[in-house]
Structure 1
Amino acid sequence: MASNPPAPEAPYAPAQPSTETFGYGGYRTGEGPWEEWNPTAESIRPVRGKHRVAKQRGGGFARSSTVLGVGVIAAVSAGGMASATTGKAPVSISMPDLPGVGSLISDDTPAPEAAPALASFGSETAVDTDAGAGVDQSVADAGEALRSRIMAQAESQKTQVEVKAAAAAAKAKADAVVKAEKEAEAKAAAAKKKAAEEAAAKVEAARLAELAKQYTLPTSSYTITSTFGQAGSLWSSGYHTGLDFAAPTGTLIKAVHSGTITEAGWAGAYGYRTIMTLDDGTELWFCHQSSISVSVGQKVATGDVIGRVGATGNVTGAHLHLEVHANGNAEGIDPAAWLRSKGLNP
């Protein structure tokens, strides 16, 4: 039986890196192998100061070592252990040619012209900040001025309202004082008038009391049946010209006041009539008597009997018809009012 002989062993060769490096088709001798790098706190220099952006030249490409360094630092900061044995081709990252930006990811010393660019950028920022502060201050000043003007207007309006209120209060107070004075004057005048009227009434009462002593009613036990001016067909003039005291026939008729008898006898429709003339010329007519007790020219005093009540003449019953003719007035006046003026109440 035949058997296959074992294949000869291949000579030892170190392991080759993978050919799958960023799209390249074969292994490149300049790219590895790499030693494993374990960075420590002593091997990595701390970054101090500000990162300044160096102006990039020649197309603005960052070096591959810079990208690798940034990746390693990020891995260490996260607390992991990174290995740089990949051996893959670096990837170039294009950065815009902006001043002060490349130094943020570069570990090289910035170019000499980067400082002026950064200083220029800072100065522009400072200028813009100052301009913004100036604008803010202008707005604040304008707002404060508007607020002050509004407050001044409000204060002015408040002052005007207070002045108007004070004027209205003063006017109301003055009107109240004037009204009170007028009311006081009116009350004083009314009180004075009332006092004067009361005094006059007292004087008149005293006078009438004295007159009452001098005057008397013409008869007693009577009833007033007809008054002065009363209209009716019973009287030839169409109205009553005197005051009727109805009393039984024979009731005494007395002199109302002192005077002189100027007529005594028959007078037609008046029946038996006696006329007495007072000292002031007033004539008193006593009519419809049943009898006469005095004669013409006789002086009589208050209360003297001059006749008796009867029903002679144009009558409907026994009564005394009294007429008063002041100062020779043929028409006559109201006997009731005249008697009251002498302090008598018929």
Structure 2
Amino acid sequence: MASNRPAPTAPFVPSQRQPETYGYGGYRTDEGPWEEWNPTEESLAPVRGRHRVAKQRGGGLARSSTVLGVGVIAAVGAGGMASANTGKPPVSISLPDLPSSVGTLLGEDGGHKATQTALSSVTTTAATDADSSSSSDAGEALRSRIIAQAEQQQTQIDVKASAKAVAAADKAVSDAEAKAEKAAAAKAADAKDKAEAAEKQKTEQQRLAELAKQYTLPVVSYTITGTFGQAGSMWASGYHTGLDFAAPTGTLIKAVHSGTVTEAGWAGSYGYRTIITLDDGTELWFCHQSSIGVKVGQKVATGDVIGRVGATGNVTGPHLHLEVHPNGQATAIDPMTWLRGKGLNP
């Protein structure tokens, strides 16, 4: 870098000096005389910070300091007005870094430019801080709103899940109670049915016991050789219509129940037959007798002897053929079932 050429030295004339006081209220001898200084690369001290200013000598510091102070006051005022206009809380103002060689003199033009630079930097910093604060506040508000919405949604989900769990538990309890009640009712009903059945059976047994006193089997010693409903060609109807008590010829035949003798004599394939009509109209047929011991119209009681076992009629051996005809009808019913209904067990 080339050095500036030295400027011609002007003659010093004391009488021509301007009465500049630079804020000290009067002339001071240590402010002059002035001489023009042309800095060179070797004579300039390195400048730190963001601002480079021209080097001055002597009392220029006071003037530059005054200008800089006015600029700082203006910047602070501008920052306050900006805070008041935006309606936001005051923000801290960061002044630009001053060079360490603050004693370096600023010229009149240089001081004005420095002041403008300081004002611009302070205003920009204040605006940036205000925008950053606004953005930070908006972001924080949005974040808080999102968190609140998320918490509200989670709360709703938890409430629904809790309600669903409570409903499921209530339903399970209700189902269990209903099942238990149903089982208890079924058990009670079963116990009741069993009790009723037992009572009914007991009653029936008592009734049959009473009937057994009124009824008796026709023979004492016997063997059942033919039952009701057996199929075979030896019977005219194609099946056996009575119950056969096989016993030796001459075995006593007794009246099963009290009644009236309505028939006594020969009956073709039935051999010698005796018919006793009971009080309810039921007819009892005693067939294949070897002899008859009663007459028509005779009243008999339970256990009375009415004849003897034989082999008359269509038979293959001595036995008593017993038939039961309800209400005197031609069709016979099973004598085994009828006898058991009277408390007897052939």
TM-score higher than 0.5: yes
1:108 to 104, 110, 125: 104
Cα 1:68–1:137 change in 2 (3 A) is closer
Partners of 2:257 and 2:319 lie apart in 1 by: 20
Cα 1:206–1:175 change in 2 (3 A) is same
Is 2:186 aligned against 1:186?
A: yes
What letter corresponds to residue 108 of structure 1 in structure 2? T
Partners of 1:335 and 1:170 lie apart in 2 by: 62
Is 2:289 aligned against 1:289?
A: yes
2:43 to 48, 56, 65: 65
Larger mean CA deviation between 147-156 and 129-138 belongs to: 129-138
1:107 Cα deviation after fit = 6.6
What letter corresponds to residue 65 of structure 1 in structure 2? S
Three-state SS of the structure 2 residue aligned to 1:290 is: strand
For residue 147 of structure 1, what is the aligned residue in structure 2? Answer: 147
What letter corresponds to residue 323 of structure 1 in structure 2? E
Three-state SS of the structure 2 residue aligned to 1:204 is: helix
1:192 Cα deviation after fit = 2.6
Three-state SS of the structure 1 residue aligned to 2:262 is: strand
What letter corresponds to residue 211 of structure 2 in structure 1? L
* TM superposition score normalised by structure 2: 0.68
Cα 1:108–1:333 change in 2 (3 A) is same
For residue 83 of structure 2, what is the aligned residue in structure 1? Answer: none
Within-5 A mapping of 1:269-308:
269-308=269-308
For residue 246 of structure 1, what is the aligned residue in structure 2? Answer: 246
For residue 29 of structure 1, what is the aligned residue in structure 2? Answer: none
Three-state SS of the structure 1 residue aligned to 2:260 is: strand
Within-5 A mapping of 1:150-161:
150-161=150-161
Partners of 1:62 and 1:297 lie apart in 2 by: 176
**Identity across the alignment (%):** 59
Three-state SS of the structure 2 residue aligned to 1:147 is: helix
In structure 1, the gaps of 5 or more residues are: 1-21, 24-60, 71-99
Contact persistence 2:47–2:101 (CA under 8 A)? no
For residue 311 of structure 1, what is the aligned residue in structure 2? Answer: 311
RMSD: 2.7
1:164 Cα deviation after fit = 2.3
Cα 1:68–1:293 change in 2 (3 A) is closer
Partners of 1:261 and 1:198 lie apart in 2 by: 39
1:157 Cα deviation after fit = 1.5
Contact persistence 1:243–1:336 (CA under 8 A)? yes
Partners of 2:181 and 2:291 lie apart in 1 by: 69
Partners of 1:63 and 1:176 lie apart in 2 by: 103
1:340 Cα deviation after fit = 0.8
For residue 130 of structure 2, what is the aligned residue in structure 1? Answer: 130
1:287 Cα deviation after fit = 0.7
1:208 Cα deviation after fit = 0.8
1:171 Cα deviation after fit = 3.1
Partners of 1:329 and 1:267 lie apart in 2 by: 17
Three-state SS of the structure 2 residue aligned to 1:281 is: coil
1:261 Cα deviation after fit = 1.6
Cα 1:254–1:102 change in 2 (3 A) is closer
Contact persistence 1:247–1:318 (CA under 8 A)? yes
Partners of 1:69 and 1:210 lie apart in 2 by: 142
1:62 Cα deviation after fit = 7.2
Cα 1:62–1:263 change in 2 (3 A) is farther
1:69 Cα deviation after fit = 9.6
1:67 Cα deviation after fit = 5.0
Is 2:309 aligned against 1:331?
A: no
Relative to total residues, which structure has the larger helix share, 1 or 2?
2
Three-state SS of the structure 2 residue aligned to 1:150 is: helix
For residue 118 of structure 1, what is the aligned residue in structure 2? Answer: 118
For residue 224 of structure 1, what is the aligned residue in structure 2? Answer: 224
* TM superposition score normalised by structure 1: 0.68
In structure 2, the gaps of 5 or more residues are: 3-38, 49-95
Three-state SS of the structure 2 residue aligned to 1:263 is: strand
For residue 268 of structure 2, what is the aligned residue in structure 1? Answer: 268
Is 2:168 aligned against 1:168?
A: yes
Contact persistence 2:47–2:99 (CA under 8 A)? no
Deviations 1:114-167 (A, max 9, x none): 244224213312321221222122112111111110110111111112122222
Partners of 1:285 and 1:67 lie apart in 2 by: 159
Cα 1:318–1:67 change in 2 (3 A) is same
What letter corresponds to residue 325 of structure 1 in structure 2? H
Partners of 2:165 and 2:284 lie apart in 1 by: 76
Contact persistence 1:66–1:106 (CA under 8 A)? no
How many pairs were matched up?
Answer: 259
1:221 Cα deviation after fit = 2.4
Partners of 2:212 and 2:258 lie apart in 1 by: 12
Cα 1:327–1:109 change in 2 (3 A) is same
